[in-house]
Structure 1
Amino acid sequence: MPLPHLALLSLFALLPSATAARELVRGNGPEPATLDAHRCQEVVCGNILRDLYEGLVTEDAHGAIVPGAAQSWSVSTDGREWRFRLRDELLWSNGEALTANDFVASFRRALDPATAAPVAALLRPIANAPAVMRGEAPPESLGVAAPDASTVVIRLDEPVALLDRLTFPIAFPVYLPAVAQFGAQHTRPGRLVGNGAYRLDAWTPQAAVVLTKNTQFHSAASVAVERVRFAVTEDAASELKRFQAGDLHLTETVPPRPLAALRAEFGDALKVSPYLGSFWLGMNLTRPPLRDNPALRSALSLAIDRDIVTRYVTGFGEEPAYGVVPAGARDYAPYRPASASLTQAQREALARERYAAAGYSAQRPLAIELRYNTSTLHRRLALAVAAMWRQVLGVRATLRNEEWKVFVQNRRARAITQVFRGGWIADVNDPLDFLATFSGADNPLNTTGYADAEFDAQLMRAARLPQGAERTALLARAEARLVDADAVIPLYFYTSKHLVVRDVEGFEANALDHHATRWLRWREGAAR
């Protein structure tokens, strides 16, 4: 429904002044944990890094893979050798030449165990990568080479959808002289050297990261937005107020409010679309009371009414989830356990049986902590889940709200967490991307501590196979094993939701919700 005429006038009259409008202001969620491309594992740093850097290939506004630093590529008939031809006269943002050797050195750095890249597993299919990652082989043995200054050759141990993986920051080139000189501080303004459409101008902690157009970028002439500010917007309600006040042109999300009411208020400024993301509650399986207690874990999962969660708490067309891989994952049908076919009343009756079997009752209730990072939606969701647990089982849940960085550290340490906010946003459109977060007890992404040798073996076998029925079957069995063990509490599958002012064009829906600033532009005639 379009905005009424007066509402349009009142909303867009509040946009920044003509001078300030030259800067595009984007809400971006929490403070980024890092701007080191090889150490990024979060949506917030990924959004910024896709502006600062460019891999061999990149994504267009619709999410399709297009030439990036490489102008063309070819692959061998067995799918195991890829050759990338770089664009002519590529430059770093400081004006120095960017060559194939820089890509080779960056791949080596990304997989060097000293880098401690949390998503290095995305590049595991590269020849000899597992041995390099374990420290059993030198980085120089990695299957990436530069036969000349304009050619990058990547050899794989098994055929995979390599181009998808090369769009992720772990595959971006990093300017190693700055790393050598400044160490971890190479990501600061004045020191970070990239090769993307923008360069880092300022970074004010807990406030904003500001980028300006990189005039050395190979396609700088087509980059319409001269300056972009990624604002820290941890609280969705506050972010909405900033958008309404004209302080933001583009929001990271929208707070949980009835979809119909939001459409009536904002019209086509509201952008809602399917998204490859899965939201779950993680459980610390390395410590009591959840360790070695599948009956208790099952009871906690069954007691949650996912229809109420998606209808009244999230309210943006999210789908109730009973597994971890969402619909829309390539060549995959999401797993549905037997409990998904029960009525909610039946699930709750079964929850009470398993709660009792786990040794709990009204006289001996479970006391447990539910931990989440600062967010309006996460707080509402935690309150709803705690209420359902108390009503159905008599559980006494204490809610713990933490700032993002503290929350991430505690979740990864598995020392004080019990139940915690979890989930995964796809890096690439592959069901393995979701399942791999639960593999390996020493995996920093495996915040539950789930340890199952057969699950790990199934993922490893699937990773070595090309797309096809055998690979899909292995992944399906692995997901069933994970979900049936009640190692996690799936709640819903995401939709992406943003508010975009009408003066900004080029914002297109895509399954991974990637929106690089280089594809955005000011509407013709818009105030600048």
Structure 2
Amino acid sequence: MKSLIVQAILRSAILITVLAALAGCSDGTDRDPRQGPAIEAGQSMLRKANGAEPQTLDPHRAEDVSSSNILRDLYEGLVLTGAEGPRPGVAESWEISADGLRYVFHLRPAARWSNGDPVVAEDFVAGLRRTVDPATGSNYGLILAPIAQAEAILAGQAKAETLGVQALDDHTLEIRLKAPTPYFLSLLTHSTTYPIHRASLAEFGDRFTRPGNLVSNGAYQLTEAVVQSHVMLSRNPHYWDDAQTRIDKVRYSAIEEASSEFKRYRAGEVDWGGVPTADFAWARENLGDELHIQPYLGVYYFGLNLTRPPFQDAPALRQALTLAVDREILTEKITGGGEIPAYGWVPPGLPGYQQATPDYAHWTREARFAEARRLYAEAGYSAERPLKVEIRYNTQEDNRKIAVAVAQMWKQVLGVEATLFNEEWKVFLQNRKQKQVTQVFRSGWIGDYADPYTFLELLHSQHGINDSGYANPAYDALLARISALPGGSERNDLMRQAEAMMLADDPVIPLFFYVSKTLIKPWVKGYRPNIMNQHYTKDLWIEPLGG
């Protein structure tokens, strides 16, 4: 059985690889890839490939990695992501009460918005309130649940003004929590916690994110945004640390297809980008120190829509599909970049946490397939009555390769008839959220902070990005208990119980844990890896070749 699956998958992979090669991964361009960095009118520019078109530049509504990458340059939160953990941002220092319930942040007096206005504590109060206010429509509001009153506000039971945040004076911010939260400082690196320029929001409403309207407090400001092309940023001369910012401009190019991104990197049109699966081996062999492979706090998975047939009230069917996926083949023959087969939900590498692993993770391949066929039959399906299902994914060739592979596995093991359907990123996100047309959908979750809870909370019944529609009161109750604990072994044990409970219900099919594979031109300096794969342009600099 394994040989049949491998042969079928490799045939599909070879076809896709050939097509990618024909699309132009050669050196057939006029530009020398070693030509050097971009300099315009004496100003240095970092050119970053940024995947799909960013969903929004509203920090309190953004959900996707593409938007977050840009927002990280435009805005600065109280703290920043660092290689060893959170580091000072707008807050130059802070104190935490002995009971872990009160945080007091001292803001830099020199912090300024891009129009020169001072950044004050009330700007953070307004940003945090805006995230949890139901009128904002943030699908990420529940991430702020540790703050006192946040859940009541999100549920419409209290006003946003009751949130446990207060400006003690212009440069002192107090945040009160409902319970000790060991990851809270890491959470404050997320865009939902960014400040908002209140006057701009009041004047422009939803149009405050447009060039000419957007006032930001980070190292860069928005100068241009062209749909399906690029977003251009330039240095914010009022930024408190502008004297140490060394790159003048950042161009974020929207390049949805990984093969096109790789082609443009080799042609010297971008300085920072990814590498598609089809070209990974070549890049590793030929691009030397330009390829950076690092652990990444993320899981790639297929979600199952539990709110409608065929997966609603069908646990046997859901588990049959989970068991019929050969993750080792996926990571060895399809992705091939060091990804780790995922049988659990929380990625490895988080200190003190031992993943929950289903028993079948230790079974032989043959035993998993046999149980998958038994459950498939129990669910009422057979060769005469096969499951017909649609796998929906956002347009990108690596996503297609994975979908082709999984569909072939389901066909070989169970006889499932799967069709593939690809969509542009924003349409794909909208359809997942609405849960009206989705059955199986591709997804990935990158941790918002370095704690298992960032993965567990995604499947809470009230989470705005729970696109499977998973709702288990016992699971929600476990999360409530976890959120009331300060840390330690009891919290880790409960998180492992929650992970095991969710996996037993099969609302998602974890496929593999990510690694980051980043190509960076040799003239870009200052790159420091971190498990979140979050980088600030202000920490980088450009050195001409030979300089």
CA contact (8 A) 2:127 2:192 kept: no
User: Contact 1:236–1:375 (CA<8 Å) still a contact in 2?
Assistant: yes
CA 18–69 in structure 1, closer or farther in 2 if over 3 Å, else same? closer
Q: Tell me the residue number matched to 1:235.
A: 257
Q: Do residues 457 (structure 1) and 477 (structure 2) align?
A: yes
> What's 1:497 paired with?
517
Q: Give the deviation of 1:17 after TM superposition.
A: 5.6
- Higher mean alpha-carbon deviation, 101-110 vs 461-470, is at 101-110
User: Would the aligned equivalents of 1:365 and 1:394 in 2 still touch at CA under 8 Å?
Assistant: yes
Q: Distance in 1 between matches of 2:116 and 2:454?
A: 36
> Residue 486 of structure 1: which of 506, 514, 524 is its match?
506
1:3 alignment counterpart: none
C-alpha contact 1:29 1:235 (8 A) present in aligned 2: yes
Partner Cα distance (2:152, 2:506) in 1: 32
Q: Contact between 1:284 and 1:447, CA under 8 Å: does it hold in 2? A: yes
Deviation at 1:15, TM superposition (A): 4.4
Tell me the secondary structure at the aligned position of residue 301 of structure 1.
helix
Residue pairs, 1:46-195, within 5 angstroms: 46-60=68-82, 62=83, 64-160=85-181, 161-195=183-217
The amino acid across from 2:191 in the alignment is P
**Rounded Cα–Cα distance in structure 1 between residues aligned with 2:73 and 2:514:** 24
SS at match of 1:257: helix
1:18 offset after TM fit, Å? 4.5
Match of 2:385 among 364, 377, 393: 364
Please tell me whether the aligned partners of residues 129 and 160 of structure 2 are also in contact (alpha carbons under 8 angstroms): yes
Paired position in structure 1 for 2:51:
29
AA aligned opposite 1:203: A
Q: Matches of 1:298 and 1:76 in 2, distance apart? A: 46
Is 1:281 aligned with 2:290? Answer: no
Q: Which moved more, 1:310-319 or 1:108-117?
A: 108-117
> Deviation per CA, 1:448-507, whole angstroms, max 9, x where unpaired?
111100000001110111111111111111111111112211100000011000010111
- Give the match for residue 489 of structure 2: 469
Match of 2:539 among 484, 509, 519: 519
Is residue 199 from structure 1 mapped to residue 247 from structure 2 by the alignment? no
Give the letter aligned to residue 384 of structure 1: A
Letter in 2 for 1:421: R
**Contact conserved, 2:37 with 2:542, CA < 8 A, in 1?**
no
1:189-338 equivalences in 2 (<5 Å): 189-251=211-273, 253-257=274-278, 259-338=280-359
Q: Using the TM superposition, give the Cα deviation of residue 260 of structure 1 relative to its aligned residue in structure 2, in angstroms.
A: 4.2
Q: CA deviation at 1:330?
A: 3.8
Alignment CA distance shift 1:12-1:470 (3 Å): same
Show the counterpart of 2:365.
344
User: Which whole-Å CA distance do the structure 1 matches of 2:38 and 2:487 have between them?
Assistant: 51
SS in 2 for 1:38: coil
Q: CA deviation at 1:524?
A: 5.5
With normalisation by structure 1, the TM-score equals 0.95
Q: Distance in 1 between matches of 2:281 and 2:427?
A: 36
Q: Aligned equivalents of 2:74 and 2:398: distance in 1?
A: 30
CA distance in 1, matches of 2:458, 2:57: 22
Q: Check the 8 A contact 1:306/1:492 in 2, yes or no.
A: yes
The alignment status of 1:414 with 2:414, answered yes or no, reads no
Give the partner amino acid of 2:490.
Answer: E
- 1:116, distance to aligned residue in structure 2 (A): 1.8
**1:432-456 CA distances to partner (integer Å, 9 max, x unpaired)?**
110111111x432110111100000
SS in 2 for 1:279: strand
Aligned 1:390-409 pairs, distance under 5 A: 390-409=411-430
Q: Do 2:330 and 2:405's aligned partners in 1 also have CA atoms closer than 8 Å?
A: yes
CA distance in 2, matches of 1:180, 1:17: 38
User: How far apart are the structure 1 equivalents of 2:306 and 2:265?
Assistant: 41
Structure 2: stretches of 5+ with no match in the other structure = 1-26
Separation in 2, partners of 1:526, 1:64:
34
**CA drift at 1:300:** 1.0
What is the aligned-residue identity percentage?
46
CA distances 1:372-400 after superposition (whole Å, capped 9, x unpaired): 00111100001111111111111110100
**1:433 to 1:17, Cα distance in 2 relative to 1, 3 A:** closer
- SS at the partner of 1:182? helix
| CA shift for structure 1 position 51 | 0.3
Moved over 6 A (4+): none
How far apart, in 2, do the equivalents of 1:155 and 1:19 lie?
47
CA–CA distance in structure 2, aligned partners of residues 262 and 249 of structure 1 = 15
Decide whether aligned partners of structure 1 residues 191 and 382 sit closer, same or farther in structure 2, where only a CA change above 3 A counts: same
- Asked whether the 8 Å contact 2:111–2:119 carries over to 1, the reply is yes
Taking the aligned partners of 1:268 and 1:483, their CA distance within structure 2 comes to 39
Match of 2:409 among 388, 393, 397: 388
- Match of 1:296, SS state, is helix
Closer, same or farther in 2 for the Cα pair 1:63/1:53, shift >3 Å? farther
> What's the CA shift string for 1:119-151, capped at 9, x where partnerless?
122211111221122222222211111121111
Residues 72, 536 of structure 2: 8 Å contact kept: yes
Shift of 1:184: 1.1
1:357 maps to a residue whose letter is E
Shift of 1:334: 1.2
Q: Report Cα offsets for 1:325-364 as digits up to 9, x if no partner.
A: 1101342111110110011121111111111111111111
Q: Is the 8 A contact 2:221 2:235 kept in 1?
A: yes
- Tell me if the contact between 2:37 and 2:523 (Cα under 8 Å) persists in the aligned partners: no
Alpha-carbon distance in structure 2 between the residues aligned to 1:399 and 1:270 = 32
SS at match of 1:35: coil
Shift of 1:196: 0.2
Q: Mean Cα displacement is larger for which, 395-404 or 255-264?
A: 255-264
Matched residue SS, 2:287? helix
Partner SS, residue 22 of structure 1: strand
Preserved contact between residue 36 and residue 545 of structure 2 (Cα < 8 Å): no
Aligned partner of residue 471 in structure 2, secondary structure: coil
User: Residue 438 of structure 1 contacts residue 446 of structure 1 at CA under 8 Å; is this kept in 2?
Assistant: yes
CA contact under 8 A between 1:277 and 1:326: conserved in structure 2?
A: yes
Which deviates further from its counterpart, 138-147 or 428-437?
A: 138-147
CA distance in 2, matches of 1:147, 1:394: 64
Q: Distance in 1 between matches of 2:328 and 2:406?
A: 12
Using the TM superposition, give the Cα deviation of residue 298 of structure 1 relative to its aligned residue in structure 2, in angstroms.
1.1
Residue of structure 2 in register with 1:434 after alignment: 455
